[in-house]
Structure 1
Amino acid sequence: MELRHIRYFLAVAEELNFTRAAARMGIGQPPLSQQIKDLENEVGVKLFHRIPQGAELTEAGQAFLEKVKGVPDLVQDAVQSAQRAGRGETGTLNLGMTGTAALQPYFTDAIRRFRRSFPDVELTLEEANSVGLINGLMDGRLDVAILRPNATDPEELQKYQLLEEPLVIALPEAWASSDSSMALVTLRDAPLVLTPRKVGITLHDEALRACRDAGFEPVIGQSAPQIASIMSMVAAELGFSLVPASMQQLQVQGVVFRAISGEAPLIGLTLAHRRIGASRITLNFVQLLRQLAPTYASQVEPLEK
C-alpha cells in the first residue's frame, strides 16, 4: 500500500464524488477509479458504494477512514522532522570545555547565539580538564570540546585554533607590589603551584617553559587538579601560579594578578571534534564559533588540514 493510495482514498471520502476528487488531485477520473480499485483489492473489501450522486463509504470504508485520515499529516510531520534533524535543528549537542574557557566572553557569546539559532537543540555542558575532554571526545560522550591543544592529541580529532591569550601571574596578595606587571624571575625562589601534568598537559608545560625562558628552573610546589583549587592554594600563600589571562575575571580573596614583564607567553584554545561521524548539529556549532572568532581574535586557522 502506497501513500498515494491513501491520499486518493481520502479525497474521494471527503468529496464523495470521483469526478470532483479527481479534479482536486489533478488526475483523470478513470485513473483515480483504478487507484481506488487497486486499494480495495489490497485491503480485500469494498470501500465505496457507487451511487448516482457519486459515492458513499461502506462500513468497511468508514472504519478504514477512521484509521488513515491522519496518515498524510503524520507522514508530513515525519518528513519535516527528518529534514530538521538533517539540518541540525533538533537533537542534542554534548559540549565540553575547560574551566578557563567558560570564563571567555567569546564562548558565552557563542553558546547564547547557538541557543537562539537552534532553540530545539538540547545543549548539555561538561567542564573538565583537557585530558578529560579528549577522552570524552574519543569515547563518544562529547560531540565537541573547547580545550587546550597539545601535540599528543589523537589524530582522530579535527582541531581548529580559535584564539590565544597570555599567561599572567597569580600570586598571594601579600606578595604583590602596586606595579601592574612584574618580572617572572623575581619569583624564582617561590613555589610554583600547577595542575598535575597528567590532567593538564598544555598549561603545565607552558608554565614551566615560561619560567625556563625567564632564566630559572621553578621550585615545584603543591599540585592542584582544578584551576579553582590552584587559586585557593595561591590565596593560602602556598605559592604562585601562571594562569590564562581570562582567570582575571575571577575575584578570589587573597589573590592578585600581574602581567608578566616583557613578551608574555601565549596559550591557545582549540575547538575539537571527531573527524569521522560528526553530526550536523556539531558542524553547525563549529561553523558558528569559527564565524564569530574574528570578533574576538585576529584570525581563525585550522591547526591541521
Structure 2
Amino acid sequence: MALELRHFRYFVAVAEEGHITRAAERLGMQQPPLSQRIRFIEDELGAQLFLRRARGVELTQAGRAFLETARSMLSQYEGAYETVRRAARGQTGRLCVGATPTSAFHPIVPLAIRSFRDEFPQVNLTLEERLPVELIRGLQEKNIDVAFLRAETFVEAELSVKPLLAEPMIVALPTGHKLACGNGAIALRDLARDAFIVYARQTGPAFFEATIAACRDAGFSPTLGQEAPRVTSALNLVAAGLGVCVVPASVRRMAMEGIVYHPLKGSGQLKAPINIVSRRGDSAAVVRNFLNSIRRAKGTLADPQ
C-alpha cells in the first residue's frame, strides 16, 4: 500500500509534537495504531525518520527532509481543497455580464456590478456592451452568463427572462427645436411634423415598435428619419438637427452638445423595460451570486421605476 495523505498528517503531527502519545491525542486516535503507522511510513520510504528517546522522539536527518516535503504536500492539498470550495460558493472564477447599449446607461447596471465586486473581489468580471441579438447568441454559446436586455420576450426556451424594472421614455430634441426651451413635458402629438430617428430597428426592435404604437395612439403615424445602429449614433443625428428620438430616461445621463431632453406627457404606456436574462437551469454559484447582487442593487435605488 502506497503512502496516503493521512500518513503525511500522522508524520507531521508526531514531528511537531515530538511525542507519539501527544500526537495521538492531537489526532484523536490511540497511541499503538499511530506507532504502527509511523513504522509503516518508514518501511515504505526505506528510511528511519525518528530516533526513539525515553521522553519522546527526535527527527533524523531523513526525517527533517521528509517533514518539509510532508508539509508542502498537505499545504498543496489544503490549498486545492479551499480553491474548489471557493469556486463552488461562487467566490472565484469568471463572470461575463452583457448589457444592451441603452440598458448600460441605467444606474442599476454599475450599481449591481460594484456591489458584486465588493463582495466577490476574486471573481474575474467583464462587462460586454452588445446589441440584443449578439447578447442572446452569447448566452446560448455560453460566452455571456447574465445579460441586461430591453426586449420583454424571447422564443429561446433555454433562456430565463425575469423582469427587473421599467423606466419612462423621454424625447431627445436638437437645441434649435422650437420645443427645446425649458424643461417641461412634451406631448407626442406636438412632434407629429418631426422626423423620428430610429435605432437598432432590426437587431432590437422593442423601442421602435413601442414608439410607433405610442405615436399612433397619439393620433398620427410618425415620419421616419435616418436609421442608426445604436442609440449613441442616433443622438448624434439628433444633435445634427436631422430629427427627434425617443429614448429611455436614463440615456439623459449621456449629456451631448446640441441635445436637450424632455419628458413626455401622457406616456404612461411608453416604458423602457430592463430584463435579466440568463440560461435556464444554470447552476453556477457565481451566476446566482450576481443575480442576488442585482436584487440588492434594485432595492437601494431611490425610485427603480
With the length of structure 2 as denominator, give the TM-score of the two structures.
0.89
2:212 corresponds to: 208
Aligned mate of 1:227, from 209, 231, 235: 231
Residue in 2 that maps onto 1:181: 185
Question: Which range moves more in the overlay, 199-208 or 60-69?
Answer: 60-69
Shift of 1:23: 3.0
* Residue-by-residue CA offset, 1:173-206 (whole Å, 9 max, x unaligned): 2113236122212322322111132222212221
Range moving further from structure 2, 102-111 or 245-254: 102-111
Match of 1:120 among 119, 122, 129: 122
Distance 2:200 2:98 in 1: 20
More moved, 178-187 vs 251-260: 178-187
Aligned to 1:144: 146
Task: Give the conservation status (yes or no) of the 8 Å contact 2:200–2:230.
Answer: no
Instruction: Determine whether 1:257 maps to 2:261.
Output: yes
CA contact (8 A) 1:184 1:260 kept: yes
Unaligned runs of 5+ in 1: 301-305
Does 1:272 find its partner at 2:274?
A: no
Aligned partner of 2:63 in structure 1 is: 61
Deviation at 1:58, TM superposition (A): 4.6
1:22 matched to 2:24? The reply is yes
Out of 88-97 and 195-204, give the one that drifted further: 195-204
Aligned to 2:164: 162
Query: Aligned partners of 1:103, 1:132: CA distance in 2, in Å?
Result: 18
Q: 1:107-144, CA deviations, whole angstroms, 9 ceiling, x for partnerless residues?
A: 22222221211122222111112222112111111111
Aligned to 1:288: 293
Q: Percent identity?
A: 41
Deviation for aligned residue 1:224:
0.7
1:10 deviation in Å? Answer: 1.2
Post-superposition offset of 1:13: 2.3
What CA distance in whole angstroms lies between the structure 1 residues aligned with 2:200 and 2:52? 84
Of the candidates 125, 134, 143, which is equivalent to residue 132 of structure 1?
134
Distance 1:17 1:196 in 2: 76
Structure 2: distance between partners of 1:152 and 1:15: 65
Inter-partner Cα distance in structure 2 for 1:40 and 1:263: 83
Q: Show structure 1 runs of 4+ deviating over 3 A.
A: 40-63, 294-300
More displaced stretch, 289-298 vs 88-97: 289-298
Q: Aligned AA for 1:129?
A: L
Q: Match of 1:70, SS?
A: helix
Cα shift at 1:63: 3.5
8 Å CA contact 2:103, 2:109 repeated in 1: yes
User: Does the 8 Å CA contact 1:163/1:297 hold for their aligned counterparts?
Assistant: no
Aligned to 2:78, the other structure's residue is in SS state: helix
- Equivalent pair of 2:198/2:227 in contact (CA under 8 Å): yes
Q: Aligned pair 1:244/2:248, yes or no?
A: yes
Question: Structure 2: which 5+ runs fail to align?
Answer: none
Q: TM-score, normalised by structure 1?
A: 0.89
Q: Which deviates the most, 65-74 or 238-247?
A: 65-74
The CA RMSD measured in Å over matched residues stands at: 2.3
CA distance in 1, matches of 2:253, 2:113: 19
Q: Following the alignment from structure 2 to structure 1, what is the Cα–Cα distance between the partners of residues 32 and 302?
A: 68
Query: In the alignment, what sits opposite 1:303?
Result: none
**What is the number of residues matched between the two proteins?**
300
More moved, 211-220 vs 156-165:
211-220
Question: Match of 2:294, SS?
Answer: helix
- With 221-230 and 74-83 compared, the bigger mean Cα shift is at 74-83
Q: Match of 1:99, SS?
A: coil
3-state SS of 1:24 partner: helix
